[in-house]
Structure 1
């Protein structure tokens, strides 16, 4: 069964041009000059029920605009979209009972009140009886590990704690689909893992489908089976995350800190040394050309390692590479 069906979706914004000089400013006041910006261009894709789908792209690619159209916040300029059988901008109120949304930059919890108050309010809004609301809160409290957070004013929670409560709140009414727009932005590694684990559990136990936008490649690897990459409002890549990883996420960034000083001539064959400090090195290598075991072996042989971090390159670089390939095709 298809939960999201988008066909030739378009969204154009009219933006007022800034006039130069005092005379131009006066003229623009009475006769403003507008320009058109295409945020979404003929976008078409489908998402199956219960699917974990990554929807990613650089800033300004049209991700958030698409999410807002799918939730009914924005009306499209053209095209069609069905979410759980509803047309979002027409059936927004009905659709709200079946979807959950989290916008990383727009909190839904009441800032000066404990999260529990928002949970209870949401129970009333979604017309749940008190017993059902309590059972649901108890379940989400355990799933997201937020028992000690519910009675603390939201303003006193850390960003990671607040985001766990935000996602839990969006699942209070048992939605069939969860739309997450940058839920892990600004979070540390531990906080991100908490949210990922809880989302995976909800998907496995309740079959909640998840459409996720993120700038973190780790979110895609941990959660999504399939990924759609957009740029300038158009799809430039669509495939399984495993294929994306095998084809494009081949570069690894490594930072190592040693117990003793590092030689300024530090070098490893097939590895690009980005930085050499007194006690640490930063390097980059391509796993298709240089074996990971070989690099780790050389790093271990160079001295006693105090700390080591291995990460993927910024997702923006991967997207730029994919987009470049699409243009050259």
Structure 2
């Protein structure tokens, strides 16, 4: 049975629409008008136990709304959602004991108390036996390098230290499903890498299912083989990250180091020249002809080193959403739906 099942999920909000100025306020006082915001629009997917899946999309695409529905914080407008066989909106105790939601921009730690106090509170909330609590805490302390942080006031911790404690607090009850919403936001590159390493190791040790949103494509490339792409509430893509690159970026990057500087004209016949800096050059070449072009370069030019790379994940994702935005712009826009009082 899939760990997460989503079938034809919709989430719409009624938002008060008020014209600007005093007259707009007066009119709204006597006759309020609303518009419908379609945050999630008919999306379906399933995630198997143990999968780590990236959930990608621009701001306002519907990612966090979907995660909140899966965690039981929001009720769907329509559709069917199941997590570990439970209906999330019922918020059953057996369900809550097996999931966790970590939001990088929100915290659960008690600000003026040491992190260990929040951990003890969570132990009581989840009814974790003392021996199990100590064993799990020791494991998380080792994995996240929390030694010396647990007894410091939360407000005295750095952002990275606080995020590590947030993760530990969310995992003390050993959840089987992790919903991670921007867990590395605002962290420096070193701390981002450490959080990624932890998520990967936690998944390997426990077999937990992970659904991850992030604006840092390094997070997605390092952790997820499969990605879901969402735009304006619609699911645009569900599949392998490499297959997505092949579909929307049918080229590879060839980087060469030259024994001597060459003019741009000498490299132009082999592909689109992206950069040329003294002895180094970058070319964009068709994916299907990569091997042929690499061989021709080595045979014809004074090359001391050659590397073939996939296009950056950021570029792949940018192309997906740029194409979606272009199609939106070309489509006839319908006026916003309004409701009376």
**Shared fold, TM over 0.5:** yes
Q: Distance in 2 between matches of 1:122 and 1:178?
A: 16
Q: Distance in 2 between matches of 1:268 and 1:312?
A: 25
Which runs of structure 2 are paired with 1:1-329 in the superposition (5 Å)? 1-248=1-248, 269=268, 288=287, 312-313=313-314, 317-321=318-322, 323=324
Specify whether residues 30 and 92 from structure 1 end up closer, same or farther in structure 2 by C-alpha distance, changes over 3 A only. Answer: farther
Q: The residue matched to 2:89 in structure 1 has which SS?
A: coil
Structure 1: tracts of 5 or more residues without a match: 254-264, 302-309
Q: Distance in 2 between matches of 1:234 and 1:50?
A: 25
Structure whose CA Rg is larger: 2
Question: Which has the larger displacement, 310-319 or 237-246?
Answer: 310-319
Q: The residue matched to 1:46 in structure 2 has which SS?
A: strand
Specify whether residues 311 and 243 from structure 1 end up closer, same or farther in structure 2 by C-alpha distance, changes over 3 A only. Answer: closer
Equivalent pair of 1:110/1:118 in contact (CA under 8 Å):
yes
Q: Distance in 2 between matches of 1:100 and 1:238?
A: 23
Aligned residues: 313
Give 1:92 deviation, angstroms.
4.5
Structure 2: tracts of 5 or more residues without a match: 254-263, 305-310, 331-341
Q: Distance in 2 between matches of 1:286 and 1:116?
A: 54
Greater fraction of residues in helix? 2
Specify whether residues 268 and 215 from structure 1 end up closer, same or farther in structure 2 by C-alpha distance, changes over 3 A only. Answer: farther
Specify whether residues 318 and 155 from structure 1 end up closer, same or farther in structure 2 by C-alpha distance, changes over 3 A only. Answer: farther
Specify whether residues 275 and 10 from structure 1 end up closer, same or farther in structure 2 by C-alpha distance, changes over 3 A only. Answer: farther
Q: Distance in 2 between matches of 1:317 and 1:16?
A: 32
Specify whether residues 75 and 252 from structure 1 end up closer, same or farther in structure 2 by C-alpha distance, changes over 3 A only. Answer: same
Equivalent pair of 1:52/1:225 in contact (CA under 8 Å):
yes
Equivalent pair of 2:11/2:78 in contact (CA under 8 Å):
yes
Give 1:318 deviation, angstroms.
3.3
Q: Distance in 1 between matches of 2:62 and 2:106?
A: 17
Question: Which has the larger displacement, 54-63 or 239-248?
Answer: 239-248
Specify whether residues 273 and 5 from structure 1 end up closer, same or farther in structure 2 by C-alpha distance, changes over 3 A only. Answer: closer
Specify whether residues 286 and 79 from structure 1 end up closer, same or farther in structure 2 by C-alpha distance, changes over 3 A only. Answer: same
Specify whether residues 2 and 188 from structure 1 end up closer, same or farther in structure 2 by C-alpha distance, changes over 3 A only. Answer: same
Q: Distance in 1 between matches of 2:273 and 2:163?
A: 37
Give 1:293 deviation, angstroms.
9.0
Give 1:131 deviation, angstroms.
2.3
Give 1:170 deviation, angstroms.
1.2
Specify whether residues 216 and 245 from structure 1 end up closer, same or farther in structure 2 by C-alpha distance, changes over 3 A only. Answer: farther
Q: Distance in 1 between matches of 2:281 and 2:90?
A: 53
Q: The residue matched to 1:148 in structure 2 has which SS?
A: coil
1:199-257 deviations in Å (ceiling 9; x for gaps): 1111111111100111122111111121110111111111112322444467899xxxx
Q: Distance in 1 between matches of 2:25 and 2:285?
A: 53
Equivalent pair of 2:252/2:285 in contact (CA under 8 Å):
yes
Counterpart in the other structure of 2:259: none
Question: Which has the larger displacement, 239-248 or 153-162?
Answer: 239-248
Q: Distance in 2 between matches of 1:147 and 1:129?
A: 22
Give 1:21 deviation, angstroms.
3.2
Q: Distance in 1 between matches of 2:285 and 2:18?
A: 46
Give 1:112 deviation, angstroms.
1.9
Question: Normalised by the size of structure 1, how large is the TM-score?
Answer: 0.81
Give 1:153 deviation, angstroms.
1.6
